[in-house]
Amino acid sequence: MSAAQFIEQLFGDLPELFKDEDELRALWSRPDTRKALLEGLAEKGYGTEQLREIGKLIEAENSDLYDVLAYIAFALPPETRAERVETRQAEIFKGRDYRQQEFLSFVLGHYVARGVEELDPAKLPQLIELKYHSVGDAVAELGPPDNIREVFVEFQQYLY
């Protein structure tokens, strides 16, 4: 199957997964619904690697997979992950103390460098280990584990 055929087929299947840009953004901005959407795409034959390949074709290899889907479904121009963070950072940091902002800056740096997989809650323990070297040190800086998880999940709604 050619890339054009793949994109055409994906375009036809996307309305089954989300009806408009607002729904795509709502699904993508929460880790649990993003994961379910990606699993639904994979079940239809559109795995993460295929979407990344399409991202290369549309010159969006430094963009989020969200941008690839939004481009295919709604002809929206992709933005890089770095642009996405830069334009939304003030909103992400609003109401956060400096320690939370520092942690989110660290997370966002990983997101820009590696992609949306860095925003999966399953990555949180690794990110904490990288940043603070131990859960205990992270708790001393950021508060109880539930609060850390809440900060990690909650900021994502402002990223999209």
100-133 per-position pLDDT tens digit:
999 999 999 999 999 999 999 999 999 999 999 9
pLDDT at 1: 63
Burial of 153 (0-12, 13-18, 19+ CB in 10 A): middle
pLDDT at 21: 94
pLDDT at 17: 85
Same domain (yes/no): 60, 97: no
Does 144 score more than 90 pLDDT?
A: yes
Same domain (yes/no): 142, 110: yes
Same domain (yes/no): 93, 45: no
Domain range spanning residue 118? 81-159
Domain boundary among 74, 99, 116: 74
Same domain (yes/no): 143, 105: yes
Same domain (yes/no): 85, 155: yes
Same domain (yes/no): 62, 39: yes
Same domain (yes/no): 70, 122: no
Percent of the chain past pLDDT 70, that is, above it, reads 99
User: Which one is predicted more confidently, 159 or 44?
Assistant: 159
**Which of helix, strand or coil describes residue 78?**
coil
59 φψ region: left (φ > 0), alpha (ψ -120 to 50), beta (else): left
**Which of helix, strand or coil describes residue 66?**
helix
- pLDDT (mean) for 47-67: 92
Same domain (yes/no): 43, 64: yes
Residue 101, H or E segment: helix 98-114
Same domain (yes/no): 10, 68: yes
Same domain (yes/no): 62, 120: no
30 φψ region: left (φ > 0), alpha (ψ -120 to 50), beta (else): beta
Same domain (yes/no): 68, 101: no
Strand partners, 80: 63
Strand partners, 63: 80
Looking at the structure of the chain, the number of domains it has is 2
Same domain (yes/no): 101, 68: no
Domain boundary among 74, 109, 135: 74
Domain boundary among 59, 74, 89: 74
- pLDDT (mean) for 130-145: 95
